[in-house]
């Protein structure tokens, strides 16, 4: 079969790497791809948020399955457009993607279905938000509705921090007399702070059945010891130690199934991967947020564990045949270390050369997935914030960590940095 993967990050490199190991995969295309993906798939220049362009590409290349990596094409309704054209697609439609694009929507689903989540209130005016925060006290969490990937979330430890976060959402300049400038239809979601251990559960859903697709824990802060600014993710481990079998069973019962039932009640079909960001609290698991795509770099850790069988499950999901599908999980552990350009997640320069990449011996147990890279005659150039995701799999977690860090240290890249504490117990 011919497969098209949309996206060009480490997540998509890992997806392409895994599914091409499956003998059902004949040709694999990717748009836009990156230097690492170009070595194992045909890359194309395509506007991946333009449904019409994607549909035309599929008919020109005889595509039998489209896998949508990032959230932007999902939010733009590309999956809906492909389904109208009868092309099997892995990824939910625009309505179901609201689970990621609107925190207020997700909270409303939680209310309707009785899903455990932090107590919250939604505000469209700064003044009311300020009053609420003064009443509830700190710590408190201020979220800008509609922003993805952890950006726009402030865990405020002081009232001043909470005030600044609210003002930033409503774009009140410090010198103004409280009159909003710019976009006035902004929304803030303000939540109670939950204490616990964070972890993520991935499930495939096809509109009828659900297949658990693994657990992971990611490391969002830029620097060791969970310090520094939030990033897209600086590393991940899978499985997540906090998500024991019995906790996963509770998450499925108390969070995942009620969510999908509530969507169905609203006549919204979810077909793709649902990524639940969870806080495992003393009194049980709580939902922090949903994403409607794989996490990056969590996907890299999942894919090195699953290999080619990932394609069977993804295809069954796209075809509504999950009921007949299972996965063989080995009793193993994967760990990903992200190497990023110095300065990320702030401003950084592009074009530094990464040396010795070719000398890393890659195998089914060790892969260097590319994110922001471009090939050049001088070697591989770093052209993004997050640049490489070095991913290892071993029978025990400490061996996976040693293996990944050994490879990281062998990569000669003066302009890069990475966290040294991925997978280390706090
Ligand atoms: P989100 O994008 O909603 O997952 O938020 C980004 C990060 O903020 C999460 O990964 C948590 O670390 C933190 N966070 C979000 N909501 C809460 C909450 N209610 N209590 C504690 N931490 C939170
Ligand atoms: N690693 C977090 C995310 O992909 O949203």
Predicted local distance difference test score (pLDDT) of residue 378? 85
Closest C-alpha residue for ligand 2 atom 3: 295
CA 59 to CA 63: how far, in whole Å?
Answer: 7
Residue 322's SS3 state is helix
DSSP track, 2-59: EEEEEE-SHHHHHHHHHHTTSTT--EEEEEE--HHHHTTSEE----TT-HHHHHHHHH
Closest C-alpha residue for ligand 1 atom 15: 288
Which of 198, 232, 338, when mutated, tests ligand 2's pocket best, judged by the most ligand atoms within 8 Å of its CB?
Answer: 232
Please report which ligand is nearest the Cα atom of 295: 2
Predicted local distance difference test score (pLDDT) of residue 149? 47
Q: E-assigned strands of 235-372?
A: 235-238, 271-281, 284-291, 333-341, 352-354, 366-370
Direct distance between the N- and C-terminal alpha carbons of the chain, in angstroms, rounded to an integer? 45
In tens digits, the chain (426 residues) has pLDDT values of 999 999 999 999 999 999 999 999 999 999 999 999 999 999 999 999 999 999 999 999 999 999 999 999 999 999 999 999 999 999 999 999 999 998 889 999 999 999 999 999 999 999 999 999 999 999 999 998 865 445 688 999 999 999 999 999 987 544 444 444 444 468 899 999 999 999 999 999 999 999 999 999 999 999 999 999 889 999 999 999 999 999 999 999 999 999 999 999 999 999 999 999 999 999 999 999 999 999 999 999 999 999 999 999 999 999 999 999 999 999 999 999 999 999 999 999 999 999 989 889 999 999 999 999 988 888 899 999 999 999 999 999 999 999 999 999 999 999 999 999 999 976
Residue 134's SS3 state is helix
Which of 152, 279, 295, when mutated, tests ligand 1's pocket best, judged by the most ligand atoms within 8 Å of its CB?
Answer: 279
Predicted local distance difference test score (pLDDT) of residue 376? 86
The first and second tokens of residue 168, run together, are 């930033």
Report pTM. Answer: 0.94
Closest C-alpha residue for ligand 2 atom 4: 295
Work out which ligand 2 atom sits closest to the CA atom of 11.
4
Q: For residue 364, report the distance from its CA to the centre of ligand 1, in Å.
A: 34
Closest C-alpha residue for ligand 2 atom 2: 295
Predicted local distance difference test score (pLDDT) of residue 356? 86
Predicted local distance difference test score (pLDDT) of residue 152? 80
Cβ of 258 less than 6 Å from ligand 2 = no
Predicted local distance difference test score (pLDDT) of residue 176? 43
Pairing mode, strands 221-223 and 188-192: unpaired
CA 14 to CA 400: how far, in whole Å?
Answer: 17
**Percentage helix, strand, coil for the chain under 3-state DSSP, each rounded to 5:** 35, 30, 35
Residues touching ligand 1 (Cβ under 6 Å) are 118, 141, 143, 150, 153, 155, 191, 193-194, 198, 220, 277, 288-289
Cβ of 291 less than 6 Å from ligand 2 = yes
Q: For residue 232, report the distance from its CA to the centre of ligand 2, in Å.
A: 5
Q: For residue 305, report the distance from its CA to the centre of ligand 1, in Å.
A: 27
Predicted local distance difference test score (pLDDT) of residue 394? 98
């Amino acid at each position: 079969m011919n497969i098209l993967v949309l996206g060009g990050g480490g997540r998509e490199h890992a997806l392409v790497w895994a599914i091409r190991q499956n003998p059902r995969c004949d040709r694999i295309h990717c748009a836009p791809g990156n230097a690492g993906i170009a070595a194992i798939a045909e890359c194309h220049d395509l506007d991946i948020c333009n449904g019409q362009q994607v549909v035309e590409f599929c008919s020109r290349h005889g595509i039998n399955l489209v896998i949508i990596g990032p959230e932007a094409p999902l939010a733009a309704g590309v999956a809906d457009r492909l389904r109208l054209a009868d092309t099997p697609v892995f990824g939910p439609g625009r309505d179901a993607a609201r689970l990621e694009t609107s925190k207020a929507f997700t909270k409303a689903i939680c209310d309707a279905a009785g899903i455990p989540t932090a107590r919250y209130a939604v505000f469209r005016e700064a003044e009311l938000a300020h009053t609420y925060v003064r009443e509830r006290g700190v710590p408190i969490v201020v979220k800008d509705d509609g922003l993805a990937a952890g950006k726009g979330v402030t865990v405020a430890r002081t009232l001043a921090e909470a005030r600044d976060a609210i003002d930033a959402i409503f774009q009140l300049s410090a010198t103004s007399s409280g009159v909003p400038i710019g976009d006035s239809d902004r929304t803030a979601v303000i939540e109670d702070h939950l204490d616990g251990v964070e972890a993520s559960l991935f499930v495939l859903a096809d509109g009828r059945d659900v297949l658990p697709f693994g657990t992971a824990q990611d490391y969002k802060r830029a620097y060791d010891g969970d310090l520094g600014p939030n990033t897209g993710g600086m590393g991940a481990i899978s499985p997540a130690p906090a998500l024991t079998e019995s906790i996963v069973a509770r998450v499925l019962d108390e969070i995942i199934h009620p969510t999908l039932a509530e969507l169905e009640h609203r006549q919204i079909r979810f077909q793709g991967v649902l990524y639940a960001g969870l806080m495992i609290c003393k009194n049980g698991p709580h939902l922090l947020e949903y994403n409607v795509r794989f996490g990056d770099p969590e996907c890299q850790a999942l894919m090195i564990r699953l290999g080619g069988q990932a394609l069977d499950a993804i295809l069954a999901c796209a075809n509504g045949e999950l009921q007949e599908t299972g996965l063989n999980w080995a009793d193993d552990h994967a760990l990903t270390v992200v190497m990023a350009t110095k300065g990320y997640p702030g401003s950084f320069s592009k074009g530094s050369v990464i040396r010795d990449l070719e000398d890393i011996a890659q195998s089914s147990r060790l892969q260097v997935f590319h994110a922001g890279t471009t090939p050049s005659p001088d070697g591989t150039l770093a052209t993004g914030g997050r640049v490489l995701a070095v991913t290892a799999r071993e029978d025990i977690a400490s061996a996976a960590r040693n293996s990944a860090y050994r490879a990281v240290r062998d990569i000669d890249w003066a302009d890069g940095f990475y966290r040294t504490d991925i997978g280390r117990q706090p």
